Structure 1
Amino acid sequence: MQFKHAPAAVSAVFDDPNVVSAVGLVPMLRLARAAGLVSLSQARLTVPTDKGSNAGGKVMALVAGMLAGADSIDDMNLLRHGGMGRLFARTYAPSTLGSFLRAFTFGHVRQLDAIASRVLQSLVSTAPLLHAHGDEQVMVDLDDTIIEVHGYQKQGASFGYSGVRGLNALLATASTTSSAPVILAQRLRQGKIGSPKGAARIVGDALATLRRSNPGSGARPLLRADSAFYGHATIGTAISAGADVSVTVRMDPAVKAAIATIPDDAWEMIEYTDAIRDETTGQLISKAEVAEIPFTAFRSRKKAEQIAGRLVVRRIPDLNPNKVEQPTLFDTWRHHAFFTTTDKNVTDTVAADKTHRGHAIIEQVHADLKNGPLAHLPSGVFTANSAWLVLAVITFNLTRTAGVIADRAGRLARATTATIRRTLIHIPARLARSARRVTLHLPEAWPWQTAFARLFAVTHAPPPATAS
């Protein structure tokens, strides 16, 4: 591809008051408003009036900026160009939005958490975000990530388990085999905090949101997590809330003793990395094998707090580089175990292992957020950054909903936020007025025209008629 004009024949002038760079904000903000973001924020946020007047409009402006790609307060100027003032009211200055965020206390962040939960419930009723086949379980994944920060004025920032200076974001997501993840709950924490601290509260909030969002599901949701969350508080909360668990265990003496009792003939090969199938017998030839044994977790606690389930163990050969020249007389193994309360008659050993390994899907959500609003945490005030995280989660769920509405059977239904932004939001348009109507003139032959038209039609449909 080459530029077809001579350099001297082209000039650039910023002078058109009728052009916008992200006309996809029109259906996106319609979707957010229909989900109750403005009304809920206006009714529930009690930020002091000198900073928090018209809280609904300011929350909507912050979400709009994130939808358009903002990852800092200054980036909110994306909303103040060309014809944006003709399309939207109250396009606040970045300084106003920054003051609004800095006025948040922890209580206000919890109010925003409740708003995010209710917005997600509304979005799930609008589009099939958690579509499950039959009695399929909804997977609830729990994990934390470090958001790197720079400078010494960020409240709560410190060096945590990753060795990176930052703040810790704990997320709980929900997904099915046919639905990409949405975020159920979130919490920003100090960088040096241990992963399980406060996890039980997040699990309770997430499962409550899921129960309200997906009331018709008959199957118990399945909480998946790594070994950092193997504790009675987290697992007990999930069990009490009506969920099954699948949590990696630490290799403590009780687990090692249980693994040692597994008979040699109980191990079954699985389809793992570099696995092949024997052409004659049809059996898998793999370096990985799985087996299971009944197991009771937390035996050191009183009997009412002990939890019965299954210990599923995957083993692979332990290739010690110090023993290459002189091989061992018998195989040695590395074991990876997880505790699950799922029914063996429904989910056998191999299926349980494969399902547990699917927990890695939450890493895609972490990467998605860090490629967008969480590329930076914009304030030195911890509660402002906590509110920023909640708004980023609302933005993520909105873009997931837009992708499902626009292209339910195609790739946009499972696309990243960056792809949704590129195809459905960052579309330039020219505004034209005639007879009190505004017409948006979009680029001819836009590759995703059909998907955008479907999203626009759904978000601009008249409200359903109410029975008299």
Structure 2
Amino acid sequence: MKPSHTIRPVFDDPNLVSAAGLVPALRLAESAGLYDLLDELSVSSANAAAKSAAVIGGMLAGADSIDDLDLLRHGGMSRLFAGVRAPSTLGTFLRCFTHGHVQQLDKIGADILAGLAVRVPDLIAGSHGREGIAFLDVDDTIREVHGHAKQGAAFGYSGVRGLNLQLATISTPLAAPMIARARLRKGNTASHTGAGRLLAQAITTARAAGVKGQVLCRADSAYYGWAFVGTAIRHRAWFSVTARMNPAVVKAIASIEEDAWTPIAYPNAVYDEAEDRWVSDAEVAEIPFTAFTGRRKAEQVACRLVVRRVKRLQPLAGDGTEQGELFAAYRHHAFITNSILSMIEADQRHRDHALVEQVIAELKDGPLAHLPSGKYAANAAWVAHAVLAFNIARATGVAASLRTARWATLRTRIINIPARIASTGRRLVVHLPQHWPWASSWELLWSTATDPPTAVAT
């Protein structure tokens, strides 16, 4: 491509918009109850629902800071949307939030997810029947921040100064992950802190969103403890948690007979960070195990210990040649589970826990590129709005038949589409680009967002 030399740019058209896809996206959210639920916010700020919707709309269009919310105020946006506010107004609004208001917004996010699941039935596909299965993945991450005015910022396990975000996602073998619950915490908070309460809320949210099948709760070794496992058991869910290599686990692994190991081959290679290489095969075995034997009897958990072992690379000799193998050395990866899945499937399902990292990456590539305020509660409110925006974007993608598309892809193809506004009678006509490559997807979204909901068979 080569730009023409006859171009003369002029910013003078009041009828152009750069994010016409916000119309069906927010119409879809409205049909799921967004505006009615936001009216329940008790934040001490006038028109709180309109301001909250403006923050969500800005995030859907790509805003990752308060100043970026100004992208809603251009061209004909005020003709398409009521209640657009200036960034300074929205920043003041976010600073009005308290911890209790953030919890209100978290509850609204859970209710919106349930509404979206009704409006877009395939949002959590494969979990509505009793024979289905859904995965709840819990993890946390550090969002690095700068400046001494950031409340709650501290050095956490990653060695950087920031704030800690803990979240739980819902996914199925047929559906991309949605965020069930999320919370912002101080930067030096331990990963497992509050895991039990978060998981309980996430399971409740999943059930409210229509998950009727089995729930498998997955987490890494940071969550290896009674708080997480006990919560899963109390809610009659399966758990699958990476085991810490404590003496009891090491002893159990050592007791596995050599003929108990079953070779497996990965359809796609798995990257082993410790060995700094790609691995395409391994061996798996399992053994009965009792976890948390240091706790009282009622909190000791009889379960399965599933172990995957990968052969270590042999070191090179001093002259750079490959040494002969005197004996095989292995790296072991173990997890505990109470599922009735086969050993091979249990290992595969546990490794799929890495899906939660995709959600974290999408958030950091979007609204959580920054935590924009110096006030902790304002940043917590920003995170809660980001969760709402993420789930609306995911529902938008499913409705547009782009169920596996990432948020950045949806912004490019569906949301940030330019348009020109014209009036005819009492209606607005939005003229979209001719030959837009994803026009059919956009029209599918529009139909879902504007048509009456499908009647539920009884």
Matching of residue 69 in structure 1 with residue 62 in structure 2: yes
Say whether 1:426 aligns with 2:426. Answer: no
Q: Which amino acid aligns with 1:292?
A: E
Aligned partner letter, 1:310: R
Answer yes or no: is the 8 Å Cα contact 1:249–1:337 preserved in 2: yes
Aligned to 1:202: 198
2:296 corresponds in structure 1 to 302
Q: Please tell me the residue identity of whatever aligns with 1:171.
A: L
Structure-to-structure mapping, 1:206-217, within 5 angstroms:
206-215=202-211, 217=212
Match of 1:132 in 2: 126
Q: What is residue 256 of structure 1 aligned with on the other side? A: 250
Question: Is the partner of 1:221 in helix, strand or coil?
Answer: strand
Match of 2:111 among 108, 118, 122: 118
Q: 1:122 Cα deviation (Å)?
A: 0.3
C-alpha distance in 2 between matches for 1:198 and 1:147 = 18
The structure 2 residue matched to 1:13, chosen from 7, 10, 14, is: 10
Q: Which amino acid aligns with 1:10?
A: I
Q: Secondary structure at the match of 2:133?
A: coil
Counterpart AA for 1:157: A
Question: What amino acid does structure 2 have at the position aligned with 1:137?
Answer: I
Counterpart selection for 1:154 from 138, 150, 154: 150
Letter in 1 for 2:30: R
Counterpart mapping for 1:16-95 below 5 A: 16-43=13-40, 45-48=41-44, 52-95=45-88
Question: Secondary structure in 2 aligned to 1:271?
Answer: strand
CA contact (8 A) 1:37 1:56 kept: no
**Cross-structure match for 1:416:** 406
The amino acid that maps onto 1:105 is T
Aligned partner of residue 39 in structure 2, secondary structure: helix
SS of 1:103's partner is coil
Alignment CA distance shift 1:268-1:465 (3 Å): closer
Identity %: 54
- Measured at CA, do residues 274 and 330 of structure 1 come closer, stay the same or move farther in structure 2, by a change above 3 Å? farther
Q: CA deviation at 1:272?
A: 3.3
Does residue 169 of structure 1 match 2:165?
yes
> Partner of 1:461 in structure 2?
451
Task: Specify the alignment match of 1:2 in structure 2.
Answer: 2
Deviation at 1:273, TM superposition (A): 7.9
Question: 2:90 is matched with which residue?
Answer: 97
Q: Decide whether aligned partners of structure 1 residues 458 and 286 sit closer, same or farther in structure 2, where only a CA change above 3 A counts.
A: closer
CA distance in 1: counterparts of 2:404 and 2:425, whole angstroms = 40
**Which letter maps to 1:155?**
Q
Deviations 1:324-375 (A, max 9, x none): 86556322222110000001xxx11111111111111111101111110001
- The structural deviation recorded for 1:462 is 4.4
Structure 1 counterpart SS, 2:124: coil
Q: 1:232 maps to what in 2?
A: 226
CA offsets 1:154-182 (integer angstroms, 9 cap, x no match): 11112211112211111100111111000
Within the alignment, does 1:386 sit opposite 2:366 as a pair? no
Superposition map of 1:337-356 within 5 A: 337-343=334-340, 347-356=341-350
The reply on whether 1:375 has 2:369 as its aligned counterpart is yes
Tell me what 1:290 maps to: 284
Q: 1:439 aligns with which of 407, 429, 434?
A: 429
Q: Distance in 2 between matches of 1:450 and 1:174?
A: 28
Question: What letter matches 2:357 in structure 1?
Answer: E
Q: What residue in structure 2 maps to residue 183 of structure 1?
A: 179
Q: 1:23 to 1:341 in 2, by over 3 A?
A: same
CA separation of 1:80 and 1:230: change in aligned 2, threshold 3 A: same
- Unpaired runs of 5+ residues, structure 2, are 270-278
AA matched with 2:372: P
1:361 is aligned to 355
Deviation string 1:183-235 (CA, Å, 9 cap, x unpaired) is 000011111111001111110110010011125x2x32001100000010111
In structure 1, the gaps of 5 or more residues are 276-284
- Structure 1 position 31, deviation (Å): 1.2
Distance 1:287 1:221 in 2: 28
> What do residues 402-425 of structure 1 show as CA deviations (whole Å, max 9, x unaligned)?
111111xxxx11100111111111
- State the Cα distance separating 1:249 from its structure 2 match: 0.5
Deviation at 1:136, TM superposition (A): 3.0
Q: What is the CA–CA distance in structure 2 between the aligned matches of 1:221 and 1:164, rounded to whole Å?
A: 34
TM-score (norm 2): 0.93
Separation in 2 of the partners of 1:359 and 1:200? Answer: 18
TM-score (norm 1): 0.91
Q: How far apart, CA to CA, are the structure 1 residues paired with 2:425 and 2:322?
A: 86
Q: Which amino acid aligns with 2:17?
A: V
Q: Structure 2: which amino acid aligns with 1:197?
A: T
Query: Contact conserved, 2:119 with 2:453, CA < 8 A, in 1?
Result: no
Q: For residue 305 of structure 1, report the CA deviation from its aligned partner.
A: 1.2
Separation (CA, whole Å) in 1 of partners of 2:82 and 2:322:
74
Residues 38 and 59 of structure 1 are in contact (CA less than 8 Å); yes or no, is this contact kept in structure 2? Answer: no
Question: Quick one: distance in 1 between partners of 2:26 and 2:380?
Answer: 22
Q: Work out the number of aligned pairs and report it.
A: 441
